[in-house]
Amino acid sequence: MPGSPRTRPAKPALSRESIVAAALDLVDEFGSDAVTMRRVANAVDTAPASLYVYVADRRELMALAHDLAVADVALPADADGDWRTRLELLVKRVVDALAAHGDIAAVGLRDLMAGPNSLRIIEEILRLLRAGGVADEARAWAVDLFGQYIASSALEESSHRARQAGQPSDALAARLDAVYTTLPVEDYPAIRALAPLLTSGDATSRAAWKLRVLIDGILAQS
C-alpha cells in the first residue's frame, strides 16, 4: 500500500553528527544568522524539541558547526619548513577552511566554544610558537590574536569569494578607489595622499603581509 510503513523509506538515524552537519550546510546556503533550531530540525526531518537531546541550545549547535568547519585542516609536517613557515601555513589552512563555509567564522568572533578540532589547532599554534622561542605569557595571549586574525580573514575571504561569483574581483577596489580619490583633500589629506596604496595589492598578498606583521609583533614582545 503506497505510503505505508512497509514501503516508506526509513528516516536517517538522528545523531549529534547529522544535526551539526545539517547546521553547517544551512550556514553554507543561508548564512549563520539564518540558522534556527526549527530550520535544522526540518533539514533532518524531526521536531525541534528532538534536537535538544543532542545539543543544549542554538549556541552550542553553532559552536559545533564552527568546529566541524575546521575538522579537515591538516597540521603542517616538519617537511613543510621551519616553525614560522609551518605556523603561517597552518593559519592559512584554517582561514581557507572557514571561508569555505560562508560566514561561519563570525561564530568564533561572537561566541567561541572551542571543540576538539579547534583545540587541536590551538595546541599546534602554541607548540609552534614555543619552537620559535616565544615566552609562555606571550604564547598564551597570542592565541587570542591569531583567533581574531583567522576569523576576520576568513570573513573577508568568504565575502571576496561571494563577490567574485557576481562581479569582477577588482570591482570593490575600484569602488573604494573612486571614493578615496574624490574626498576633499583639506578634510582627508592622509587618505588622499595614500589613496593609490589603500586599494593596492591582491587579497593573498595583503593577508600574507598582515600575518607577517602579527608574528613579528609577537616576537618583538616576547
Domains defined for the chain, CATH in brackets = 16-69 (1.10.10.60), 78-221 (1.10.357.10)
Distances (CA, A) of 141 to 22, 37, 95, 110: 34, 34, 19, 18
pLDDT of residue 138: 95
Mean pLDDT of 33-44: 97
Q: Would the pLDDT of 22 be above 60?
A: yes
Query: In this structure, what C-alpha cell is assigned to residue 210?
Result: 598582515
Please calculate the CA angle 36-42-44 and round it to the nearest 5 degrees: 105
Q: In the predicted model, what is the mean pLDDT of residues 101-105?
A: 94
Q: What is the pLDDT of residues 177-190, one digit of tens each?
A: 889 999 999 999 99
Q: What percent of the chain lies above the pLDDT cut of 90?
A: 73
Verdict on whether the full-model pTM lies above 0.75: yes
Q: For the stretch 42-53, what's the b/e string if a residue is b when 16 or more beta carbons lie within 10 angstroms of its beta carbon?
A: ebbebeeeebee
Query: Over the stretch 47-99, which tens digit does the pLDDT of each residue have?
Result: 999 999 999 999 999 999 999 999 999 999 999 999 999 999 999 999 999 99
Closest CA to 125 of 143, 98, 99, 110: 143
